[in-house]
Amino acid sequence: MARNGPDAASDSNPSPVAAEDESPNYLSHEQILLVMFGLMAGLFLAALDQSIVATALPRIVSELGGLEQLSWVVTAYLLTSTAVTPLWGKISDLYGRRRIFQLCIAIFLIGSALCGLSQNMPQLIAFRALQGIGGGGLFAIVLSIIGDIVPPRERGRYQGYFGAVFGLSSVAGPLLGGWFTDGPGWRWIFYVNLPIGLIAMFIIATVLTVPTPKREHSIDYLGAALIVGAVTMLLLYLNWAGDSYGWGAANALMLPIGAAILTGLFIVAERRATEPILPPSLFANSIFRVGNLYIFLAGMAMFGALIFLPVYFQAVMDMSPTRSGLALLPMVVGIFTTAIGSGQLITRTGRYRIYPIIGASILSVALALFSRLHVETPYWQIAIYAFLFGAGLGFTMQTVVVAVQNSVPIRDMGSATSATTFFRNLGASIGTAIFGAVLGIRLAHHLDEQFAGGPPAAGQAAGLEANNIQAIQALEEPAKRMVLSAYTHALDDVFLTGIPFVVLALIVSFFLKEIPLRTGRAPVESPPAPMAAASSDAQPPRSAPERQERERAPRPQPTGQRHP
């Protein structure tokens, strides 16, 4: 059943001490850094596999065949990693994050090894889906572990590095994918995960010690099945509509209708579940609601640039996939600079609300600048725009995670943190589908404009598709110049489409409440001590100085809250 009473109240009125744990032992700073290395390695692998495969696809098809199934090599990973994220977050709340992290990375590594051994396209797609199940768990649990071992006041400076990992993976993916494909072979884009993943698993197994839940629990199998089914249907629609089917085709519309029905059933099931996957009480928390709406909208715009800016580099500037990855380095520098810088400032000041506002403002400016690109735009200008966009992202994502984690009880840390990852990825999937549709529609429109006079070259552009970059470079003048102009204008329209979503995120950010970030050190699990458990005097729950510090700590004021 859904939680009632004080627990639900604590969720609706977030408190900076709501998530405090009573365990007396703590990780040292050196241990935290070592754990972070293992966590970042795991997260880097999961994020890398979203982009590393793209440059190897032509070589994979030439060896395994199955051209008509090509897109599923990417889609299978995206679909499963997104669908299982909330489930892994809840499971980590119930069974402890260390063992679940190890399970997820083991699933990911097994999937990676099997991908490398694949002998045909169906095998590769199935093993990519298995890889995604493990990768989704890594996305869900890594930031929750930081929530376990680092207090909210200090999380900003640590979580900023994880935001930078996402930016780095977006650049490293095409680079490493191209290098492995041209060098030892495409199978090594999967085999390379094995040594790095094993190192991460060893570090977490030997260094990380976090509290293991002691409460009775049961798994919400019905809720898990419903949310996985709903997300799967929605993502299938976004991947098929406009490609295999029209957006309004009856066959395609059955998927979003089914997703809506399953979502409604999921909401009903969660209200009745003893341990819901996404506790309804979380949605009574205004910081959780506002933060996830913000991250959903920002995620839509974020992936619009991350995916379609490389398209500009390759289609208009005739860059190779590897060079287009290098061209994104200014964006990564921007992410590093502001993610780490804002994290340090959050730790020093305890204030976080201003950074999502700054981030959305910068993102809107950067998208407006991207929408002014033309065929002759020099790269140095694009580099400045990309740096600004990265700076906006750095201010945006991890700050919201800190705010959400600080506002929920520790028993719901995994569910709340995985929800932010889930809504970001869901926004990214929807945004990518919308922007892809805009690119196709506007490219056709601008091609019609360019060839309205019916010059002889018009026939060369007939049937040109938005993703057929190689065909563009094979055209002869003046058709090539006219098509490049149409392509640039279409991409400008894509970036313009992202601006309203960022503006909405900016408006939403003003509703994000700011509550004091706790400064107490983060607890870890004590070694077994049966004798100590027999006497409360043998091992008090807190030392005297810690009790005194807690008693002196300011409590949130009830100002502005309504009471019956």
* CA–CA gap between residue 4 and residue 196 (Å, rounded): 44
Task: Specify the pLDDT at position 322.
Answer: 75
- What's the structural domain count of the chain? 2
Looking at the fold, whether 60 and 188 belong to one and the same domain comes out as: yes
Which 3 state secondary structure label does DSSP give 373?
coil
Same domain, 255 and 333: no
Task: Please say which residue of 232, 258, 273 terminates a domain.
Answer: 273
Give the number of residues written for the chain: 564
Q: Which residues pair with 26 in a beta bridge?
A: 523
Report the alpha-carbon distance of residue 521 to residue 449 in Å, rounded. 63
Spatial distance between the Cα atoms of 77 and 108, rounded to a whole number of angstroms: 11
Q: Do 331 and 240 reside in the same domain of the chain?
A: no
The residues facing 289 across adjacent strands are none
Nearest to 322 by CA among 175, 184, 179: 175
339-387 residue pLDDT tens: 888 888 888 888 889 999 999 999 999 999 999 998 889 999 999 999 9
Confidence grade of residue 108 (pLDDT, cut at 50, 70, 90):
very high
One domain, residues 309 and 330? yes
Residue 136 inside a domain? The answer is yes
Which percentage of the chain shows pLDDT scores above 70?
Answer: 79
Query: Are residues 302 and 263 part of one domain?
Result: no
For the residues 534-560, what does the mean pLDDT come to? 40
Considering only 30-39, 204-213, 425-434, 525-534, which range has the smallest mean pLDDT? Answer: 525-534
Same domain, 249 and 311: no
The reported pLDDT for the residue numbered 27 is 65
Query: Residue 452 pairs with which residues in a beta bridge?
Result: none
Please indicate, yes or no, whether residues 373 and 418 belong to a single structural domain of this protein: yes
Tell me whether residue 2 is in a domain: no
Largest CA distance in the chain: 93
Asked whether residue 76 falls in the same domain as residue 175, the answer is yes
- 465: closest CA among 486, 443, 492? 443
Question: What local confidence, expressed as pLDDT, does residue 237 receive?
Answer: 85
Sign for the pseudo-dihedral over CA of 381, 386, 389, 391 = negative
**∠ CA(208), CA(212), CA(214), 5° rounding?**
170
User: What number of other Cβ atoms are within 10 A of residue 320's Cβ?
Assistant: 13
Residue 256 in any domain: the answer is: yes
Residue 465 lies in a domain: no
Q: Give the residue numbers spanning the domain of 230.
A: 221-273
53 & 80 share domain: yes
b/e code 140-167 from CB counts within 10 Å (16+ = b)? bbbbbbbbbbbbbbbbbbbbbbbbbbbb
Range of lowest pLDDT (32-46, 104-118, 449-463): 449-463
**Is the distance from CB of 108 to CB of 131 less than 8 angstroms?**
yes
Tell me the C-alpha distance between 10 and 396, whole Å: 26
Do 392 and 439 lie in one domain? The reply is: yes
At residue 548, the pLDDT reads: 42
Question: Residue 37: its pLDDT value, please?
Answer: 87
| CA atoms of 180 and 124, how far apart (whole Å) | 17
Residue 231 lies in a domain: yes
Q: Which residues contact 311 (CB under 8 A, 6 or more apart)?
A: 439, 469, 491
Query: Which value, to the nearest 10 degrees, does the dihedral of the CA atoms of residues 332, 336, 342, 348 take?
Result: 180
Indicate which CATH number applies to the domain containing 103.
1.20.1250.20
Residue 3 located in a structural domain: no
Please state the pTM of the whole predicted model.
Answer: 0.78
Evaluate whether residue 539 is within a structural domain.
Answer: no
Position 351 in a domain: yes
Give the number of other CB atoms < 10 A from CB of residue 28: 9
**Predicted confidence (pLDDT) at residue 521 exceeds the cutoff of 90:** no
Q: Which of 236, 258, 273 is the last residue of a domain?
A: 273
Q: What is the Cα–Cα distance from 473 to 182, expressed in whole angstroms?
A: 22
Average pLDDT of the chain, as a whole number: 78
Q: Are residues 193 and 85 in the same domain?
A: yes
The Cα 351–Cα 244 span in angstroms is 48
Q: Within this chain, do residues 110 and 29 fall inside the same structural domain, yes or no?
A: yes
CA distance 501 to 420: 17
For 130, residues 6+ apart whose C-beta sits below 8 A from its C-beta are: 80, 107, 110, 111, 114
pLDDT at 152: 76
